[in-house]
Copies of this chain bind each other. A is one copy, B any other.
Amino acid sequence: MNIGEIARRAGVSRSTVSYALSGKRPVADTTRRRIQQVIDELDYRPNATARALAEGRTRTIGLVIPPAGNRLTHMQLEFVASVVDAASRADLDVLLSPSGGDHDRSFERLVSERRIDGVILMEIRLEDARAVRLQQARVPFVGIGRTARDRDMCWIDIDYAGLIHHSVCHLADLGHHRVALVNRSPELIAAGYGPAHRARQGFLNAVRERGLDGVEVPCEDDARSGQECIERLLRSHPGLTAVATVNEAALPGVQRALADAGLKVPRDFSVIGVAARLWAEDFRPPLTAADVPAQDMGAQAVSLLLERIAAPGTPPRQILLAPPISLRSSTAAVPAGRLARADGRAAGDRG
C-alpha cells in the first residue's frame, strides 16, 4: 500500500494526497475527506524510509551507550530510559549503538550512513574519539558528560567536582579529618572517564583547602567491590571516620562492610555521596547525597539535541547541573573519641 494507490482510489494525484497528509498546502474540504476515507479504509501510513529519503532527514536520533560487556549502571539505565521516553514524546525514534572503543561498526554505521539526524553520546571520556568523529562528520550531537575540551561541544553534565568538594567540606565541618573517596573503577579512571577524574579533583581540592587527611581509592561498580574496598580502607586507614563516594553501585557493599565492622552509621561513621535517589533512599540509614536527576537529564539532552539539529551553526550550549545535597541521615559529627585521635594526627599530616 503506497501513496499512489491511495491517490488512484481517491481519484486525485499523489501530490494532493501528500499535501492532504502534511497540510503544507490547502486542500479542498471535500477532497480531503475523500482522501481520508480511503486512508482509513486501507489503514495507510506513509513509508518512513521513502519519506526520509525525500526529506533528507530520518526523524531518528542515535543513542550511543557503553557496550554490553561493561554492565550498565542503574544511572545509565535511567538515562537510556529517559532519553527514549523524551524522544518518543517528540515523535523521534531512537537507534541504539553500543560502542565504547574507537572503531565500532555500529557507531560507524550511525555516523557515516546518515541513518540519524543527531546523536546523544553517553559515557564520554575526557579524550573521546567518538566526539571527534562526530564533529568531523558534522553530525549534530549532545554529550551526557563532557570532554576535556568542553567548550567545543554541546553537553549536559553533573558537577561532580563541585558536589564532591561540597560533600567533603560538609564532612570537615562535622569534624571529620580522615576521610576517603570511593571512586569509580580503575578501568574507567585509566580511560579518562570524566566524572571519576572530576570527583577526584574536587576531593583533592577540598582535602587541601581544609587540611584533611584524605585517601582516594578506585572501586568497581558493584556491591562486592564496595565491600572489599571499605574492608581494605578500614584496615589500612585506622581512624577513618567518613567516606564520600560517586559509586552508587558500591553502596550496598559499603553498608555491609561497615555493619560487619560493627560501625554504626552515622554514629561511628559517616557516608555521603552522589547517587540516584533510589540508591540514596535505599541506603540504611538514608544517604545524605546529591541526587542525580537522570530523568531530567535525558529529557534535557533530547531538547538540546533538537535545538542543535534545528540550528547547527549556533555556538554549542552547555548545561552543568549541581543538584542540591539532600541531608538525610548518614552523616553526623565525628565521634568524640576518634576526633581527639584524628586531631592528634592532623598536625603531622600533609603539610
Residues of A whose CB lies within 8 Å of any CB of B are 43, 45-50, 52-53, 58, 60, 63, 65, 67-68, 71-72, 77-78, 80-82, 84-85, 88, 91, 93-98, 105-106, 108-110, 112-115, 222-224, 252, 256, 278, 282, 284, 295
11 A-B pairs with C-beta separation under 8 A: A43-B112, A45-B108, A49-B49, A53-B53, A68-B295, A84-B96, A84-B98, A88-B106, A91-B109, A93-B95, A94-B96
- Of B77, B94, B115, B224, the contact of A49 (CB 8 Å cutoff): B115
Residue of B nearest to A48 (CB): B113
Report the minimum CB–CB distance from A254 to chain B (whole Å).
13
Taking CB atoms, residues of chain B closer than 8 Å to A113 are 45-48
Taking CB atoms, residues of chain B closer than 8 Å to A80 are 80, 96
Given that A88-B97, A94-B96 are known contacts, is A68 also in contact with B81, CB under 8 Å in the complex?
A: yes
Report the minimum CB–CB distance from A199 to chain B (whole Å).
24
Taking CB atoms, residues of chain B closer than 8 Å to A223 are 282
Give Cα A223–Cα B286 distance, bound, in whole angstroms.
Answer: 13
| Beta-carbon contact of B58 and A84 below 8 Å | no
- Of B47, B67, B77, B115, the contact of A85 (CB 8 Å cutoff): B67
Of A46, A108, A109, most buried by chain B (CB within 10 Å of CB) is A109
Report the minimum CB–CB distance from A324 to chain B (whole Å).
23
Give Cα A85–Cα B104 distance, bound, in whole angstroms.
Answer: 12
Give Cα A347–Cα B52 distance, bound, in whole angstroms.
Answer: 71
Report the minimum CB–CB distance from A187 to chain B (whole Å).
17
Taking CB atoms, residues of chain B closer than 8 Å to A282 are 222-224, 252
